[in-house]
Amino acid sequence: MTQSTISTLIDRIRSRDARVGVIGLGYVGLPLAVEFAHAGFNVTGFDVDANKTAQINAGQSYIPDVAESDLAACVRAGKLRATTDMTALGEMDAIDICVPTPLRKTKDPDLSYIVLAVEGVAATLRPGQLIILESTTYPGTTDEVVQPMLEEKGLKADIDFFLAFSPERDDPGNQRFTTKNIPKIVGGVGPASTEAASLLYGASVETVVPVSSTRVAEMVKLLENTFRAVNIGLVNEIALMCHKMDIGVWEVIDAAKTKPFGFMPFYPGPGLGGHCIPIDPFYLSWKARQNGFECRFIELAGHINSSMPHYVVDRVTDALNTVRKPINGSRIHLLGVAYKRDVNDMRESPALDVLELLTKRGAELSYTDPFVPELRHGERTFNSVDLPAALVQPPDCVVICTDHSGFDYEAVIKSGTLIVDTRNALKDKQAATIFRL
């Protein structure tokens, strides 16, 4: 049955007759769905959030990296629609699962979103379908968790249906590298699955890189982000060291990166944020522990990175001490609360930790972030304040947590307020009121 089944699927992909479903319409799923639609496929997006599906069907984008004009064009052309009805998964020829994979409070993997998505797929699974998991997870998830769930009713992977893992590699806010031109890693549970998944992605992205198994593909993603987390941990520790030695860490990095080989610049900051880098190393270390291996190096980097919000608050204390003010009762304004520049993503944002620590010390908090109009923290709700309004009566201290490109940093400096710059946003500025990491 394998040859006829795979041949039928391949023919449908090549002719663009294959119907493609994408489960999870966030930062990963929506850009992917649009790329599939651009490639000529009829695409259905699935999400439990009715507000998201309604916005998509109205041609409205809620993801900054997806231009509303592109989304609306796909919807008008009848190439893209969205629904909350998971029973329609049975109509799809290929299904991409792009749901979140957070951590539990114990730092163990939380696969509940994957399990729910796979249950929805399994309920309508039919011969000839291609299922691809994109959600970041530990090596073994596809063949240990997903495959048995899909095979419960008797269909066999790589024979009756096809199963692969292809790690998402999105970088929100990056205008140079997008879903279209970032190489796609693909690993199937067998050769037929790898072939089918590679062909599907090859129709919508520029480069496909097949690997030998789903576990290799799963490990690729964890290596990529653990590499970043460990190197950020290193440079954060160097920043702490440089502060003690009265050396400008930013100048050190700028000079070091002039070496044309053997060095790659990473930059210190208030802590890690986003849906990948703060989380993926824990997936890797958890799986390693299951196999009797302790990731001491990786976990040490995690400890250093998680301590950075505390160091930011120490720098706020240092700044306020220069004018003989305590944190308790001081008006402190956070500039930027999203986890990175020019995005609206709040997941794991270190600004939340900074806000929490300052609140516990009695500070009066406010913030400006054009990408995050409202921020709920505990029982409190904060609303973003326009920067000019925030500077009418300058706060005691401004903390640059996220270096959005649209901020008027010159106005902040001219206000005379103390500034703790955690992102080197004021790189070329010199003032007694500026405190850097």
Last residue of a domain, one of 147, 181, 212: 212
pTM here is 0.89
Q: Are residues 330 and 375 in the same domain?
A: yes
* Distance from C-alpha of 89 to C-alpha of 69, rounded to nearest angstrom: 27
Taking the C-alpha atoms of residue 125 and residue 128, their distance in angstroms, rounded to an integer, is: 9
Residues of the chain with pLDDT under 50: 1
Is the residue at 180 inside a domain?
A: yes
Alpha-carbon distance 22 to 149, whole Å?
A: 19
Q: Is residue 17 domain-shared with residue 117, that is, in the same domain?
A: yes
Residues 152 and 135 in one domain: yes
- Within a domain: 66: yes
Last residue of a domain, one of 257, 280, 304: 304
Distance CA 158, CA 148 (A): 13
Domain end point (choices 212, 235, 259): 212
246 and 390 part of one domain: no
Question: Is 400 found in the same domain as 336?
Answer: yes
User: Does residue 112 form part of some domain?
Assistant: yes
What pLDDT score does 1 carry? 47
Tell whether 217 is covered by a domain.
Answer: no
Give the structural domain span for 53: 2-212
Determine, yes or no, domain membership for 70: yes
Count of structural domains within the chain:
3
Whether 103 and 27 map to the same domain: the answer is yes
Q: Is there a single domain that holds both residue 196 and residue 249?
A: no
Please report, rounded to a whole number, the percentage of residues in the chain having pLDDT higher than 70.
Answer: 99
Q: Say what the pLDDT of residue 2 is.
A: 56
Residue 345 is predicted with a pLDDT of: 87
One of 74, 98, 242, 276 is an active-site residue; which one? Answer: 276
| Domain CATH for 278 | 1.10.1040.10
Active site residue 276: yes
Q: Same domain, yes or no, for 24 and 159?
A: yes
CATH number for position 380? 3.40.50.720
Identify whether residues 329 and 204 lie together within a single domain.
no
Residues 287 and 404 in one domain: no
